[in-house]
Chains A and B, each alone.
Chain A
């Protein structure tokens, strides 16, 4: 296991290196002064001004040299400042990440647990009532665009509040502004805010996870070692929990890791629908403002999180499957 973990860690470092390269190139190959350039060059003596501008931004240096100094800055924690509001990129990320993390973790944990449970129960009574109903909802949510589901839940939440006469579901922001509450009050307020956006993500993730778990479980239940376990006299419940489930979790673990990127995409959309000040909003604003340093910092942060999640997935997989661990 230790050898396996070390190997996976080394691979992650290599991947991380490429991720920094991609994050840099994606943004650096876009000319940040394209408009000024056209304007200035049409003026007498504009060429010199362009050169000066390039030098001040470091654009006159070769691409690889620029990458090197950018990477060095990144390592020392200097991710530059926003050209839009002059704040440090690290500060902006530091504010946005915890907000988004809350949503992503809640959605992932709940959708995986529910997805596994729904998938297992569906598989055990294939084509039963529960299976048919869950299949219906899985396809429904699977086919629904995230923004639409989000908007729908938002609308339902508002109607529910009106009907109840009290605000149960908050539909704007990640917490009430100028909230003056103790620790528990703060978290209760956050919970009220997170329900609907989390539900949006959960519904979509759950649709895929439960289908995936269902088919993995059906495959495993037909395998020879399940027959062996039954032939030994292992009670049905124990066959499911100790033999079938442990094997059927494997594909779901890798699936969850692989679709983490998609989840981030869904999170960006959900945050916009519910006006959260998280990573989604930060990304969109940086794009709209041409805020290169923020976009780069964002890409890097998300890239790192994807790498970390994949590493965790691999380690979990190795923990569950001895064949992978030794392979």
Chain B
């Protein structure tokens, strides 16, 4: 499965193929990711969207080998053609933070409370580049300045608790781009922040990405600003891809009822034509025993008998790839509006 809108015929920076992740738990196996494939190319911005628990974090965490040892991972993840899943710890450590780096959701808990932010950034530099402490430190100041932290040369000696949430997330971003990675992964970088500073931090992220010249995978659980600034969009539901394509196209004409639902434009049979409803009723299924067929069926206004019997395969609909038995109907309707 390749991207429908593969712009270049080069080797992707990161290629995820048929990824499956299972967590054995006392209650049974949690099937967090159930066969997901995507590629990201140089300089690209890919947004992965989906409700809580759809497997977004787990699928990117697998790319850096950051899942707990209990996780059973199958499928392949390759960085510029090298299989990451087969790498020894030493090789993975070289990759992490230099070729691929990550910004996490919660800046309050993601920084070490007993180390200054400067020391944490400098450490990231020094594990990959053999430089003197003083040089790593001035690099840290430079990076803090780049992500818009005022008084960077003083702030470099601050402890995380001395900074606000937004400032901490900026520091996290500075740390992530310290070695000019090829790929930056941001897992819900603004979810834990105040609404008023979310846009600023997204700006910083974009600036940092440009400065480092990296590709960006940004995870989000809404289709707001984040997803709209992406080149490509991938919508996940219950551990699978529901729909993927060029972001503009998917926004304009979602072919999957779930995407349409997330966009808040899902037409309901009992609602007057043209009514816009925001959230989707119901909750995602338990990943301990996901239902057979289409996992979205219990919540889907278009569901028919076949939906709960056969799992819909990802197939080309218009410009995108969609996993829905009735994608044509959804796609056709979107055109009418």
Give A contacts to B, CB under 8 Å.
223-225, 227-236, 238, 242-243, 246-247, 320-323, 326
Q: Which 10 A-B pairs have the closest CB atoms?
A: A233-B97, A232-B97, A233-B96, A224-B109, A322-B159, A232-B124, A225-B112, A224-B110, A231-B102, A228-B110
Q: Is the CB of A326 within 8 A of B109?
A: no
- For the complex with contacts A225-B112, A234-B93, 13 further pairs of A-B residues with Cβ separation under 8 Å are A224-B104, A228-B111, A228-B175, A230-B66, A232-B124, A233-B98, A243-B112, A247-B112, A247-B113, A247-B114, A320-B114, A322-B161, A323-B113
Cβ of A321: which chain B residues have Cβ within 8 Å of it?
113-114
Q: Is the CB of A231 within 8 A of B123?
A: no
Cβ of B90: which chain A residues have Cβ within 8 Å of it?
235
Cβ of B110: which chain A residues have Cβ within 8 Å of it?
224-225, 227-228
A249 to chain B, nearest CB (A): 9
Q: Is the CB of A246 within 8 A of B66?
A: no
Q: Residue on B with the closest CB to A221?
A: B68
Tell me, yes or no, whether B95 is within 8 Å of chain A by CB: yes
B103 to chain A, nearest CB (A): 9
- Cβ contacts B86-129/A at 8 Å (1 or 0 each): 00011001111110011010100111111100001001100110
Q: State A231–B128 Cα separation when bound (angstroms).
A: 12
Q: State A196–B40 Cα separation when bound (angstroms).
A: 65
Q: State A234–B96 Cα separation when bound (angstroms).
A: 8
Q: Residue on A with the closest CB to B121?
A: A232
Tell me, yes or no, whether B294 is within 8 Å of chain A by CB: no
Cβ of A243: which chain B residues have Cβ within 8 Å of it?
112, 115
Tell me, yes or no, whether B64 is within 8 Å of chain A by CB: yes
Cβ of A326: which chain B residues have Cβ within 8 Å of it?
159, 161-162
Q: Is the CB of B113 within 8 A of A322?
A: yes
- Cβ < 8 Å to A, chain B residues 47-76: 64, 66
A284 to chain B, nearest CB (A): 44
Cβ of A227: which chain B residues have Cβ within 8 Å of it?
66, 104, 110
Q: Residue on B with the closest CB to A227?
A: B66
- On whether A228 and B127 interact (CB within 8 A), knowing A322-B159, A322-B161, the answer reads no
Cβ of B64: which chain A residues have Cβ within 8 Å of it?
231
Q: Is the CB of B112 within 8 A of A323?
A: no
A115 to chain B, nearest CB (A): 20
Q: State A63–B61 Cα separation when bound (angstroms).
A: 70
Cβ of B94: which chain A residues have Cβ within 8 Å of it?
233
Q: Is the CB of A231 within 8 A of B96?
A: yes
Cβ of B127: which chain A residues have Cβ within 8 Å of it?
232-235, 238
Q: Is the CB of A230 within 8 A of B112?
A: no
Cβ of A234: which chain B residues have Cβ within 8 Å of it?
93, 97, 123-124, 127
